[in-house]
Structure 1
Amino acid sequence: MTEKQRKWLAWSLAIAWMGVIFLFSAQQAEESARLSGGILKYLLDGISAMIPNAELNQDLFHLLVRKGAHFGIYGVLGVLVLNAVFITRGKLDIKTFLVAVAICVTYAITDEVHQMFVPGRAGMIEDVAIDTLGAAAGALFWTFLKSSDVAQ
């Protein structure tokens, strides 16, 4: 694969993942709640099967599922964007890391603004913070993998 093809593929994957995030954000509140409610039920059923007498605060658990989804989805974005920036710049340094995280933060902000125009949804600054932490964690994870790869 040529360098140009590697760059194109890396950026295509990052942009495609942004498209996935956009589709989740475009879901109206009822559809989004149905999706996270289904995941919540699956998790609660699993926990109940393992710990039959567990008493869980379902509202708190639902909040953790929703915010955990933000963190995880943006963690994947952090990995993909850092990989694309790394391939484009050709080096792994603090600037590469910060540029990648800045791209993710900018996208998180635009994502929350987008949600302000979706019926039943709202843009939330705390979601931008969670998204930022997820992106940074994903980028750190990628950095760790890449650093251990280089060390060998």
Structure 2
Amino acid sequence: MKQKWFWGVVIAIELILFYSSSMTYKEQTSVPFLEKILGTNKPLYSSLSKISFRYGGKTQSIENDGYFHFLEFFIRKGAHFSIYFLLGLFLCLAVYKYFSKNKFLMMFIPWLATTGLAAFDEFHQGLTGGRTPSVTDVILDSVGALTGILVLMLILWLIELHANKNKS
């Protein structure tokens, strides 16, 4: 029964991703919301203004993008990482019973599948107006999925270790 629930979560996440990548940037941007909520306060401006780095071939900084777009960048990339973290974790749980005797496949198959889904999602995003597909985002998504899978494997290992300790 749990397997069906895990598959349901995987499908729900995929539907959310598909819907999200169907939206134009203008439909999806959080900049107006951030401007409204934060107004002229701009918390952490002095600290954030010292940060500058390259991502996807572009320099990301307050100087280049402006304060609210720079904040939005972190929100969007955090969402990428987080949603694929959850997708990797729940896909690993969904296939658990199929690969319970082979830990490598239990991790590798969900990681490979989430990376493929991330690539497909970026391709789909490229078909949407005002959006650009990014290999760098696929890598970020893949790392998010792998992190979710590794965290789950650590938790399962600790549970197994605890269960074996109680048996002795």
TM-score (norm 1): 0.81
Query: Is 2:4 the counterpart of 1:8?
Result: yes
Unaligned runs of 5+ residues in structure 2 are: 49-61, 163-168
Counterpart among 17, 20, 34 of residue 21 in structure 1: 17
Aligned to 1:70: 80
Unaligned runs of 5+ residues in structure 1 are: none
Aligned to 1:38: 33
Instruction: Flag the structure with higher helix content.
Output: 1
Provide, for residues 16-63 of structure 1, a one-character-per-residue CA deviation record: whole Å limited to 9, x for no partner: 111111111111110111x36536875899972xx6x74533243332
Counterpart among 123, 130, 135 of residue 113 in structure 1: 123
In structure 2, distance between residues paired with 1:103 and 1:40: 37
In structure 2, distance between residues paired with 1:38 and 1:20: 21
Cα 1:29–1:60 shift into 2, 3 Å: closer
Letter in 2 for 1:65: I
Question: Would you say the 8 A contact 1:36–1:65 is kept in 2?
Answer: no
Cα 1:11–1:36 shift into 2, 3 Å: farther
TM-score (norm 2): 0.74
Question: Would you say the 8 A contact 2:3–2:93 is kept in 1?
Answer: no
Number of residue pairs matched? Answer: 144
Identity of aligned residues (%): 25
Aligned to 1:129: 139
Question: Would you say the 8 A contact 2:10–2:90 is kept in 1?
Answer: yes
Secondary structure (helix, strand or coil) at the match of 1:86 reads coil
Computed over aligned residues only, the root mean square deviation of the Cα atoms, in angstroms, reads: 2.6
In structure 2, distance between residues paired with 1:150 and 1:83: 15
Provide, for residues 69-108 of structure 1, a one-character-per-residue CA deviation record: whole Å limited to 9, x for no partner: 1111111111111111113323461121010100100100
Question: Would you say the 8 A contact 2:23–2:128 is kept in 1?
Answer: yes
In structure 2, distance between residues paired with 1:69 and 1:21: 11
Cα 1:149–1:121 shift into 2, 3 Å: same
Secondary structure (helix, strand or coil) at the match of 2:95 reads helix
Larger Rg: 2
